[in-house]
Amino acid sequence: MIAYFVMECAVDSRIPTYSGGLGILAGDTLQSFADLEVPAVCVTLLWKSGFTGQKLASDGTQLDSIQEWDVEKYMQPANIKIKIPLGGKDVTLTAYKYTIESTKGDNEIDAYFLTPDVPENDPETRKICDRLYIEGGLTRLKQEIILGIGGYEMLKAIKYKPFLYHINESHSAFLIASLMKDMNDLNRVKSRVVFTTHSPIPATFDKFAMKDVAAMLERYVDKHVLYEIYQEKLEDNDELNLSWLAIKNAKNVVAVSRKHKFVSEQIFEGYRLKYVTNGIHHIKWASAHHKMLYTKYIKGWEDDPDLLRGVACIPDSEFAQAHILSKESLIEMVNSESDASFIPEDFTIAMAKRVTQYKRNNLILSNPNKLIDIAERKGNIQIIFAGKTHPADPDGIAMIKSIHNASQYIASKTKKVKIAFLENYNIHKANIILAGVDLWLNNPVRPLEASGTSGMKASLNGVPNFSVLDGWWLEACMEGINGWGIGPRPAWTDLSYSDDVQDLNDIYGKLEFNILDLYYKNFSDYLKIMKMAVSSIAPYFNTHRMVSEYVTDLYLTGIVMCYLEREKTGVCDM
Ligand SMILES: *Cc1c(COP(=O)(O)O)cnc(C)c1O
């Protein structure tokens, strides 16, 4: 059994226990585990008030709200309680179980959502895990101890015997302390841990003062155990960095794209990483129209997404029709949620993702007059923006405001460029937007996009990607054949940052001289690129392939090691 630990997990579009890519990836991974019959169990936290809801005030300020949802409507109480010591308190934890059914309905994967919200705890403790990523400091530390150590103890209490713990991003790395407590042998602990690092931005790594960690865990493990697993004696005010804790104790450390491996090896000096490029669940992310089309022409694509390379055989007219129908649904949504009055005939671009500085969500609006010029010369442009920012992120809040202001300016100047900001981006909206636009725009600062997955979802639906050459796109992009790159193509080991001006010139230049001409004057060639987006990307950039790589390159290694250990010592924890 593989124990898959993750801070956020998006298992259902009605359950707001996620903020962005990490949670969506977890949900897609579990779906592929179920489909491919990988023996696994997931441990995550029950965010009863979600991450944040989003509305925009009339001046473009993001207004936050908690995301209420009915836990018992979607999840089963696991009917089990455990206690862990957390500082001076004994905290009682329970879990709710969500069962992910395989696509064929013949297999299941369980995900346990832990919560301290039980009557045994005091009111303050009950709230610790209410909201995802909103609180920092000691609350964040408590959340991560509940995830790592509470999760470990919960699996034990339910009588799971995982032979491998897959730590997805370092939030759950405290489970290493539990493993050490039970095994008391650093090498055995390491052979049980796979760590996937998801962020190439060291500033975002979780760090806590040693004295806080020691105080929080003092009745669980001795301080010396913490020194031992950190392989360093920390003073009280030194920071314990969870990414380093995970790196030092994982037999295998995994990056999420080839580029990210090289970026991470610079951050984690002295360590060699493997990489498994992220994917998406192809059935979840195909629009209803594309699903029907693929089922008609590519028998077996659900079981084997590799077969999607056969998209070339679909008649152009039917392929175009699936796109037009998806686009009509999107335009209907845009027009019902905004007064932008989009029309289906006009070229439509989407920039939909979390709003955070490195993603440069507003880059394309940097020079509104230039954009208007291009539209006047080459044809109308409609742009959809969507995405939430962390409520405490001033850069994100300012970026949303600037999108709002630029769109008001543009609306006062022309009808040739139309802009809509769709509030409250979520899985449901993502599904509609990414299948219905004509171009998927993504321009993060290179090399900070570890992988990215939204462009894979667009490609699966025949929407070409127009993206900075970073993360997964650096592996996939064939310029002008399955989409377009923004900025130069860097070497794998090149860590230089993107230049805003250079990237912006590429965005405007390629829109004007490549993309709009194709779309408006030579749609049959645009259609070729749309088909190539599917046939060259969907067969590989999916979670079935990703999970298969994890199984063969990482999980099976764990089993082999376990057998070797049994030969040597007679003990195997499987
Ligand atoms: C896929 C997805 C993401 C991740 O998007 P990236 O652009 O790859 O960061 C975030 N939010 C939602 C709702 C998604 O569907």
Domain ranges, ordered by start, for the chain:
2-52+63-278+545-569, 307-541
Instruction: Give the Cα separation of 93 and 472 in Å (integer).
Output: 38
Residues of the chain with pLDDT under 70: 571-574
Counting from 1 in the atom list of ligand 1, the atom nearest the Cα of 19 is 11
Give me ligand 1 centre to Cα 528, in Å.
26
What Å distances lie between residue 40 and 162, 364, 502, CA to CA?
8, 42, 45
pTM comes to 0.97
Q: How far is the CA of 68 from the centre of ligand 1 (A)?
A: 21
List all residues 6 or more positions away from 273 whose beta carbon is below 8 Å from its beta carbon.
Answer: 197, 253, 254, 255, 261, 264, 265
CATH for the 2-52+63-278+545-569 domain, from 3.40.630.10, 3.40.50.2000, 1.10.8.60, 3.90.1150.10: 3.40.50.2000
Ligand 1 pocket residues where CB is under 6 Å: 20-21, 24, 353, 425-427, 430, 452-454, 457
**What one-letter code names the amino acid at 437?**
V
Q: Which residues have C-beta within 8 Å of that of residue 249, sequence separation ≥ 6?
A: 173, 176, 186, 189, 190, 193, 195, 229
**Which of these, 386, 282, 285, 289, lies nearest to 333 by C-alpha position?**
386
Distance CA 502, CA 525 (A): 27
Cα–Cα distance between 431 and 184 in angstroms, integer?
47
| Number of DSSP helices (H) and strands (E) in the chain, helices first | 24, 19
Residue written as token pair 């473009």: 60
Percent of the chain scoring above 70 in pLDDT: 99
Among protein residues, the one with the nearest Cα to ligand 1's atom 11 is: 20
CA of 399 to the centre of ligand 1 (A): 18
Q: How far is the CA of 452 from the centre of ligand 1 (A)?
A: 7
What's the 255 CA to ligand 1 centre distance in angstroms?
Answer: 18
DSSP H or E stretch at residue 109? strand 108-115
With CA atoms as reference, report the closest residue to 333 among 400, 443, 424, 467. Answer: 424
Q: What angle do CA 49, 50, 54 make, to 5 degrees?
A: 105
Q: What is the pLDDT of residues 387-410, one digit of tens each?
A: 999 999 999 999 999 999 999 999
Task: Provide the CATH topology of domain 307-541.
Answer: Rossmann fold (3.40.50)
Residue 353 alpha carbon, nearest atom of ligand 1 = 7
Output the CA 355–ligand 1 centroid distance in Å.
Answer: 11
Task: Work out the number of other CB atoms within 10 angstroms of the CB of residue 241.
Answer: 19
**Ligand 1 atom nearest residue 449's Cα:** 9
Ligand 1 centroid to residue 426 C-alpha, Å: 9
Residue labelled with tokens 């390629």: 510
Residue 228 backbone dihedrals phi, psi, to 5 degrees: -65, -45
> Do 2-52+63-278+545-569 and 307-541 agree at the fold level?
yes
Residue nearest to atom 7 of ligand 1 (CA): 454
pLDDT, tens digit, for every residue of 63-79?
Answer: 999 999 999 999 999 99
CB distance 301 to 294 below 8 Å = yes
Query: Among 52, 354, 456, which is best to mutate for testing ligand 1, by the most ligand atoms less than 8 A from CB?
Result: 354
Q: Which are the contacts of 60, defined by CB distance < 8 A and separation ≥ 6?
A: 400, 401, 402, 403, 404, 405
Residue with CA at minimum distance from ligand 1 atom 1? 454
Q: What is the largest CA-CA distance in the chain?
A: 77
Answer for the pair 37, 107: CB distance below 8 angstroms, yes or no. yes
